[in-house]
Amino acid sequence: MGWRASRADGTPLDEIHPAAWSDLAHLSPGASSFPLIRIACDIANPLLGPHGAATVFGPQKGLHPADLPALESATGRIANLIGTAVGSPGLGSTPGAGAAGGIAFGFLTAAAAKLVPGFDLVEEWLDLAPKFAAAYLVITGAGCFDLSSLEGKGPGALALRAVAQKKTVWIFSGAVRLDTPPVGCEITAITPPLTPLSLALAQSADNLKSARQNRVA
């Protein structure tokens, strides 16, 4: 994209990835102009903070709790460098900026992209409105259903939209990490407790079938 990165001594830094972030001291944007970029975003999480990308999604991807403060700090520093380079600091708090590990923040800041709700776009593409109207029961699912599922992700948005239209909603999920289900929804964890992830994935079809049979019964 034409950006230039350099170390504190001014020497160029050719590779900009997390392992090299400690060497990155300066960023300069390229001369390229961008057409309007729209990013379909299925979450409302900002880049930083208690609801940010590292805090919410890091543990889902295997981040050890002890490593969270360092990643949050490094992400904040790089975000500040990007924002300062284009004269738009502070966009890390924008809802949705934490999508895809912060890729949304990068385009939002460096290319003036516009974030649009992903579910609204999919709903329009699939013409879901008449399907909602005709449905009696709406079934959805996720690998793990937690609080982040209700912050714009597809399964959560689908469930909440269906509840708003007074439909019966069943959610089947590999794991459930909610103290209470959303009002109007019934959530079933299909995986037996203490099942290793590799086994849970291999048995997901059978587990889903058993959960469905038990739910209907």
Same domain assignment for residues 108 and 22: yes
Euclidean distance between CA atoms 70 and 58, whole angstroms: 12
Instruction: Please determine, for residue 135, whether its predicted confidence score (pLDDT) is greater than 70.
Output: yes
Read off the pLDDT of each residue in 109-116 and give the average, rounded to a whole number: 90
Read off the pLDDT of each residue in 108-126 and give the average, rounded to a whole number: 88
Same domain assignment for residues 174 and 157: yes
State the chain's mean pLDDT as an integer.
90
Contact 180/174 with Cβ under 8 angstroms? Answer: no
7-11, 36-40, 103-107, 149-153: least confident range? 149-153
- How far CA 107 is from CA of 66, 103, 110, 165, in Å, comes to 29, 7, 5, 35
Residue 121 pLDDT: 85
Reported confidence tier of residue 205, pLDDT bands at 50, 70, 90? very high
The structural domain count of the chain equals 2
The Cα angle at residue 44 between residues 40 and 46, in degrees rounded to 5: 110
Higher pLDDT, 165 or 148: 165
Instruction: Please determine, for residue 103, whether its predicted confidence score (pLDDT) is greater than 80.
Output: yes
Same domain assignment for residues 9 and 110: yes
Same domain assignment for residues 197 and 131: yes
Instruction: Please determine, for residue 109, whether its predicted confidence score (pLDDT) is greater than 70.
Output: yes
Read off the pLDDT of each residue in 93-122 and give the average, rounded to a whole number: 90
Same domain assignment for residues 204 and 147: yes
Residue 170 pLDDT: 95
18-27, 123-132, 148-157: least confident range? 148-157
Same domain assignment for residues 148 and 112: no
Give 61-100 pLDDT, tens digit per residue: 889 999 999 999 999 999 999 999 999 888 999 999 999 8
The structure tokens 């708090």 sit at: 93
**What's the burial of 54, exposed, middle or buried (CB within 10 Å: 0-12/13-18/19+)?**
buried
Residue 43 pLDDT: 82
Q: Considering 118, 143, 167, which residue would you say is the last residue of a domain?
A: 118
Reported confidence tier of residue 217, pLDDT bands at 50, 70, 90? low
Same domain assignment for residues 102 and 164: no
Q: Give me the CATH number covering residue 53.
A: 3.90.1510.10
Same domain assignment for residues 89 and 190: no
Euclidean distance between CA atoms 176 and 199, whole angstroms: 17
Give the domain range for residue 12.
4-118
Euclidean distance between CA atoms 211 and 28, whole angstroms: 54
Nearest to 203 by CA among 215, 217, 192, 216: 192
Same domain assignment for residues 104 and 133: no
> The pTM is what?
0.66
Contact 92/105 with Cβ under 8 angstroms? Answer: yes
Give 8-57 pLDDT, tens digit per residue: 999 999 888 888 999 999 999 977 788 899 898 888 889 999 999 999 98
Instruction: Please determine, for residue 110, whether its predicted confidence score (pLDDT) is greater than 60.
Output: yes
113: its two tokens: 């992209």
Same domain assignment for residues 13 and 112: yes
